[in-house]
């Protein structure tokens, strides 16, 4: 089953690269399309909102389709979207192309997570999800820096052409390696949306929002923090971000193993560690060596929550796992957008870069509180899923 997971990871690598590489190419895009850098920055926001809006729409459209065909179709939309980005004649065409690309993001990761979990024994499901998401973490380690370097050397469009090639390879791999007989029972989509009434599903999605917001409230402004507070040179900041990418790759795989072992206790422990390391960040940020070590540990912890949360929402959404898993990807991206806004608002109201990790720590504590509440409700009701929901399924 490693080859199907590799195919899914290839696609997630391409999707992750196209989502985040634009941040490193904002000056080039702005200059070429004759817009300001803040306007070019809205291409990041537009993508995130495209994921949020697109996730439920695509979930409805693809509900009755076979899972393999759906994954191939979504990956193909990703290829077309990046092709349109590469040939975009102006800013608004590029924005529209980014939104088209984003529409396949949430559904691909949501459905792909359920497919990955179905390919392995029950005690390895979270690890399988983590392997698929490894492509996303490797995108931050390899895809984004290499894509940025390519775009700076040969023009920003060359980066999107490279992603098109990656996407074609991923579509081919899915077509060849992912099995056709993936279990899928297409129910009434209106009934499936009833899964959102379950407290455990909503609590888990709220955890996704807060966990992602905790990251992006700080990470969005990590470059000026490292430059102005820690005193690192611009080229050194690049290496620190690379180290952060290595950390999230390790954390992603570690989170999958921990979730397969003991999901909720592991998730609570990770949130405690995440809040603690952000508090530490506040006090060590003036010291270069300690800051670099803290950023690495932060990367491990912040991505260790992804596979456990994704597994939790799939388990809680019995009867509609594809829909809930897809919507959870929208929740993560809602956290991306809101976290960046919260961090920016804090700076606007006078919070310094050195104190910004306090904001991330508070959001992590909020996610921990939801995790504790979810566990308490599960114990009180005698199970993760209400008996009535199990009978319906």
Q: Read off the pLDDT of residues 335-391 as tens digits, 9 standing for 90 and up.
A: 988 888 888 888 888 899 899 999 999 999 999 999 999 999 988 887 777 655 555
Same domain membership, residue 126 and residue 199: no
Phi then psi dihedrals of residue 351, to 5 deg: -75, 125
Domain end among 180, 198, 219 = 180
Average pLDDT for 305-320: 87
Domain end among 180, 201, 233 = 180
Same domain membership, residue 192 and residue 172: no
Domain end among 145, 180, 215 = 180
Would you tell me how many other CB atoms lie within 10 Å of the CB of residue 274? Answer: 28
CA nearest to 273, candidates 251, 257, 256, 290: 251
Residue 392 has pLDDT above 70, yes or no: no
Same domain membership, residue 128 and residue 203: no
Helix (H), strand (E) at residue 39? helix 37-61
Would you tell me how many other CB atoms lie within 10 Å of the CB of residue 354? Answer: 16
SS3 351: coil
Alpha-carbon distances, residue 45 vs 268, 306, 333, 336 (angstroms):
30, 21, 10, 9
Same domain membership, residue 99 and residue 221: no
Same domain membership, residue 283 and residue 248: yes
Same domain membership, residue 142 and residue 118: yes
Same domain membership, residue 52 and residue 67: yes
CA nearest to 82, candidates 29, 146, 140, 158: 158
Q: Higher model confidence: residue 63 or residue 250?
A: 250
Q: Which pLDDT value is given to residue 189? A: 66
Residue 234 has pLDDT above 80, yes or no: no
Most confidently modeled range among 73-87, 221-235, 325-339: 73-87
| Count of domains forming the chain | 2
Which range, of 55-64, 107-116, 122-131, averages the lowest pLDDT?
A: 55-64
Q: Which residues contact 140 (CB under 8 A, 6 or more apart)?
A: 16, 20, 244, 245, 248, 249
Q: Which pLDDT value is given to residue 390? A: 53
Same domain membership, residue 244 and residue 215: yes
Average pLDDT, the chain: 88
User: How far is the C-alpha of 70 from the C-alpha of 180, rounded, in Å?
Assistant: 11
Same domain membership, residue 257 and residue 152: no
The pLDDT confidence band at residue 191, using thresholds 50, 70 and 90, is: low
Q: Which residues contact 208 (CB under 8 A, 6 or more apart)?
A: 309, 313, 328, 331, 332, 335
Q: Is 386 exposed, middle or buried (0-12, 13-18, 19+ CB in 10 A)?
A: middle
Q: Which pLDDT value is given to residue 5? A: 92
**Angle formed at CA 170 by CA 329 and CA 100, multiple of 5 degrees:** 50
Residue 95 has pLDDT above 80, yes or no: yes
Q: Which pLDDT value is given to residue 356? A: 92
Same domain membership, residue 194 and residue 174: no
User: How far is the C-alpha of 387 from the C-alpha of 3, rounded, in Å?
Assistant: 37
The pTM assigned to this predicted structure is 0.82
The pLDDT confidence band at residue 330, using thresholds 50, 70 and 90, is: confident
User: How far is the C-alpha of 264 from the C-alpha of 269, rounded, in Å?
Assistant: 9
The proportion of the chain whose per-residue pLDDT surpasses 70, expressed as a percent, equals 95
Same domain membership, residue 111 and residue 256: no
Q: Higher model confidence: residue 317 or residue 285?
A: 285
Same domain membership, residue 175 and residue 45: yes
Would you tell me how many other CB atoms lie within 10 Å of the CB of residue 123? Answer: 9
**Overall residue count recorded for the chain in this entry:** 393
User: How far is the C-alpha of 239 from the C-alpha of 184, rounded, in Å?
Assistant: 44
Residue 374: how many CA atoms within 13 Å on its side-chain side? 28
CATH code for the domain in which residue 67 is found:
1.20.1250.20
Q: What angle, 0 to 180 degrees and rounded to 10, lies between the N-to-C axes of helices 306-316 and 321-348?
A: 130
Give the domain range for residue 15. 1-180
Structure tokens at 74: 């979504």
Residue 219: how many CA atoms within 13 Å on its side-chain side? 27
Q: Which pLDDT value is given to residue 85? A: 96
């Amino acid at each position: 089953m490693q080859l199907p997971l590799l195919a899914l990871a290839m696609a997630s690598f391409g999707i992750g690269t196209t989502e985040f590489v634009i941040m490193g190419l904002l000056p080039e895009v702005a200059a070429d399309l004759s817009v300001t850098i803040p306007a070019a920055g809205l291409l990041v926001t537009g993508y995130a909102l495209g994921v949020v809006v697109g996730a439920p729409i695509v979930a409805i459209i693809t509900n009755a389709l076979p899972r393999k065909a759906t994954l191939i179709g979504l990956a193909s939309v990703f290829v077309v979207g990046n092709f349109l980005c590469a040939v975009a004649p102006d800013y608004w065409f590029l924005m529209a192309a980014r939104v088209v690309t984003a529409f396949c993001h949430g559904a691909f990761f949501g459905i792909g997570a359920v497919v990955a979990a179905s390919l392995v024994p029950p005690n390895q499901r979270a690890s399988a999800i983590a392997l698929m998401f490894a492509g996303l973490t490797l995108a931050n380690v390899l895809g984004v820096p290499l894509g940025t370097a390519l775009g700076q050397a040969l023009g920003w469009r060359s980066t999107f052409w490279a992603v098109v090639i990656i996407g074609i390879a991923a579509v081919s791999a899915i077509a060849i390696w992912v099995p056709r007989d993936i279990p899928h029972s297409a129910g009434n989509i209106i009934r499936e949306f009833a899964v959102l009434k379950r407290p455990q599903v909503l609590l888990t999605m709220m955890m996704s929002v807060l966990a992602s917001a905790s990251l992006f409230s700080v990470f969005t402004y990590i470059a000026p923090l490292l430059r102005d507070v820690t005193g690192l040179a611009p080229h050194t900041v690049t290496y620190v971000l690379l180290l952060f990418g290595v950390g999230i790759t390790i954390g992603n795989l570690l989170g999958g193993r921990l979730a397969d072992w003991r999901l909720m206790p592991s998730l609570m422990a990770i949130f405690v560690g995440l809040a603690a390391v952000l508090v530490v960040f506040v006090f060590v940020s003036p010291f270069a060596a300690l800051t670099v070590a803290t950023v690495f540990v932060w990367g491990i912890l912040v991505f260790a929550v992804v596979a456990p949360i994704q597994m939790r929402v799939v388990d809680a959404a019995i009867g509609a796992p594809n829909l809930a898993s897809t919507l959870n990807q929208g929740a993560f991206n809602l956290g991306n957008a809101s976290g960046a806004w919260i961090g920016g608002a804090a700076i606007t109201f006078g919070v310094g870069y050195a104190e910004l990790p306090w904001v991330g720590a508070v959001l992590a504590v909020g996610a921990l509180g939801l995790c504790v509440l979810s566990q308490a409700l599960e114990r009180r009701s005698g199970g993760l899923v209400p008996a009535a929901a199990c009978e319906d399924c």
